[in-house]
Structure 1
C-alpha cells in the first residue's frame, strides 16, 4: 500500500515572500499514529489578512510554534478551517467526525485529544502546552448548534476574526473608551476592522466610529453602514485634532501610525495595535508622541471574561453574548442583494501560493473571502 505523503505550505520566517511546498510531517506516510492520537485530514481553510498578521508576528506571538516543521528557518502559518477524522487511536474521537478549529496550511494534522467531551476536545500535544489555550480547541461540527455545512466558508473566514472584533469592542467599552469621543480604525475594509465597527455601532451612546482605508476600498467600506465616517488615508488631516481619540491599528503601518500619533498629539487617549495587513510597513513604536501602542491579545480578554464576576461573565455567558453578536453580524454578511462577503474557493499548491501572494501584495477585493485546499 502506498501511503499519502501529503503536503504543507511553508514560509521563510524572515522573508514572507519566500515559500515552498514540503511533504506533510503529519501525513500517513510520515508517521503512524501512537496510542491516544488521531489524524485529521484538512478539508479546506480560510486565508485572510489575519493570517498574514500571524506570519508577521510569528516570532513575537509564538504563532510559528503551533505547527513546527523541523526547520527553524521555515514556518507553517496557522489557519482556521475544517477537517475530518480519518484515523483514531483516541477514545471519544471517532473516524468520520467533522471538526472546526486552528489548523496548519497543509493536508493533515495529528492531534493528541484530551478533555474530550460532547462539543470537542483539546489538542494536548506537548509542544502546544504553553501556547494560548483558545487556539488548542477543536470543535465537533455535529455538536455545534450554529454549524451549517453550507456556511463553512463564512464560518472559517469570519468567525475567528469576528471573535477578535467582539473582544476589542468589549475591551474598549470596559475601559470607557479611555475617555475618548471617537474610535479611529485603520485598514477599515479588513474583515476584523469592520467586524469591530459593527460591534461598536451597536452600542447606544458609544464613541463615534471612523474608518481609514485606501481609495479602492472607500466605496465598499462606506457601503457597510457601520462606520460613522470613512476616509481615505490621505484625508487624515481633515479630522479635528482636538477630539479625544482611540486609535485601533489593523494595518500595522509604522508611517501611518506616526502620522496619527502626531496629528492627535495631546488628545490620543489610547493606541491599540491589532494586526499587520500592511505587513511590509511594520516598524517599531518607539519615540511616538502620545501613548505607547499596546498590542491587543484576544486570549487575555477571553480569560478575563471567562472568569467569575465582577470582572468576568463566566464561559457560558461569554459564549452566549458572542453568539448573539455573531447572529446579528451574519444578517448583513449574508444579505442576498448586497452581501458583505463572497466566498471564493480554490484548490492545489499553485492556487494556494497565488492566493497567498495576492494577500501579501494587495489590494484584494475586500468583499471576497478565500477558502483553500492543498
Structure 2
C-alpha cells in the first residue's frame, strides 16, 4: 500500500507537489486510516500562513526541508489496526494531513474519542490531537458529514470568540466590526453574536468586498453589511471592537486609525493571504494592540470553569442551532462541492489560496477516491 500527499512549499504557498510513498509497517498500538474526505477552506490557508509561528506544520511533518503538509478537518476509516481499542472499519472525525491516509497512535481512549499519542505531537495543542469516534460522537450525524468537515472546527472557533467577548463584557463596546464577513468563521461568529442583539444590545457590522455584500445580507446575522471602503459611514467615536478574520494589514491600519474609541482588536486568522506579510501591518498601530485569538486557550479556561461535560453540552446545543440555520430549506447558507483525485485537489487548493469562489460553495476533497471516469 502507498499514501499520496499534497506537499506545500512553506515559503511559497502557491507551489505544491504530489508525493507518493510506500507505507511502512505499523508499530504495536498504531492504526492506519484511509482519509475519505476533508474540507478545504480559507481557515486552512491560515494554518499555512501561520504554519511556523503557530506550529501547524509540526502535526504532519513531511521529513523534507522546506515542504509542509497543511492540516485539514475531515473523516477517515480505520483500515489496519494494531491497537486493541480501535477496530478496523471504525469511522473517525479529526485533524488530518492533505493525504490519502495517515497513521495514528491512539491513547486515552474513551467511547467518544481518543488522543494521538505520537511523540512529535506531545507538545502541540491537545484540541488538535483528539479524534472523535463517530459511533459515539454527539455532534455526528451521517447525513451532515460534508457540513461537519466544512463548518465544525470553524464554528467551534466562532462560538469561542463569542464566548470570549461576552466573558470580557465586550471590552465596554456594543458594536463589533467583523472583517471578511462572508467567511465561514466570521458568519458563525455573527450568528452567535446576533443572538445577543435583543438582550445585550450588541450590534454586529460585517465588512466585506462589494461582490459579497448580497450574500452577507442574505444570512440575516449582520445588523449592517458594509464594503471595506465605507468605514466612514460609522461614527469615528463609536465604542467598538474589531474582530479581524482577513489578516489584511492595510484594513487593520485603517480601522485603528479611524476609530478613536476602539476598545479591543482581535486577530483571528488570515483569509487575505497576500496581505499577511504587508510591511508595517500591525506595527505602530493607533489604539489597542492587535491580539491574536487562540481558541485552545479559551477551551482550557471554560473546561476548567464549567467542566468538560457542561462545555460539551453547551457546544453541541449551539452547533445544532447553527446547523439548523445553515441548512434552512428556503435559504441554505452552504452547499458542498466534491472534488476527487490529485489534480482536482491541487486545483481546489489554488482556487482557495487565491481567494476565489462563491461563499455558498464549500470544497470537500479526497485524495483516496478517483474522479468519476478516472
**Same fold judged by TM-score > 0.5?**
yes
Q: Distance in 1 between matches of 2:31 and 2:201?
A: 47
Residue 84 (structure 1) aligns with: 77
Q: Does 1:342 align with 2:335?
A: yes
**Following superposition of structure 1 onto structure 2, how do residues 161-310 of structure 1 map, counting pairs within 5 Å?**
161-203=154-196, 204-264=199-259, 266-283=260-277, 284-307=281-304
For 1:148 and 1:314, the matched residues in 2 are separated by 25
**Matched position secondary structure for 1:16:** coil
1:273-304 per-residue CA deviation (whole Å, 9 max, x = no partner) reads: 00100011013411010111000000000000
Which stretch shifts more, 155-164 or 232-241? Answer: 232-241
Match of 1:8? 5
Give the distance between the partners of 2:313 and 2:231, measured in 1 at CA.
Answer: 38
Cα contact 1:119–1:140 (8 A) shared by 2? yes
What residue is the counterpart of 1:327 in the other structure? Answer: 320
Q: Deviations over 1:228-283 (max 9, x none)?
A: 1000111112111111110000000001110010011x311000000100011013
Cα offset for 1:362? Answer: 2.1
Matched, 1:358 2:355: no
| Aligned partner (choices 142, 151, 166) of residue 158 of structure 1 | 151
Determine the C-alpha separation between the residues in 1 that align with 2:124 and 2:321. 31
Residue number in structure 2 paired with 1:59: 52
For residues 23-102 of structure 1, the aligned pairs below 5 Å read 23-24=20-21, 29-102=22-95
Which SS does the other structure have where 1:6 is aligned?
strand
**CA positional deviation for 1:23:** 1.5
Q: Distance in 2 between matches of 1:105 and 1:32?
A: 21
Question: In structure 2, what is the Cα distance between the partners aligned to 1:359 and 1:247?
Answer: 24
Moved over 3 A (4+): none
Residue 367 of structure 1: which of 356, 360, 371 is its match?
Answer: 360
Q: Secondary structure at the match of 1:94?
A: coil
SS at match of 1:178: helix
- Asked if 2 retains the 8 angstrom alpha-carbon contact of 1:200 and 1:206, the reply is no
Question: SS at the partner of 1:226?
Answer: coil
TM (norm. structure 1) is: 0.95
8 A Cα contact 2:247 2:267, kept in partner: yes
Aligned residues: 362
Superposed displacement of residue 206, structure 1: 4.0
Contact 2:75 2:94 in 1 (8 A): yes
Q: Deviations over 1:316-361 (max 9, x none)?
A: 1111111111111111100112100111101011111111111111
1:113 maps to 106
CA contact (8 A) 2:36 2:77 kept: yes
User: What is the match of residue 21 of structure 1?
Assistant: 18
SS at match of 1:277: coil
| Contact persistence 1:80–1:100 (CA under 8 A) | yes
Kindly state the Cα deviation for residue 144 of structure 1 after the two structures are TM-superposed: 1.6
Alpha-carbon distance between aligned partners in 1 of 2:57 and 2:308, rounded to the nearest angstrom: 28
Aligned CA RMSD, in angstroms, stands at 0.9
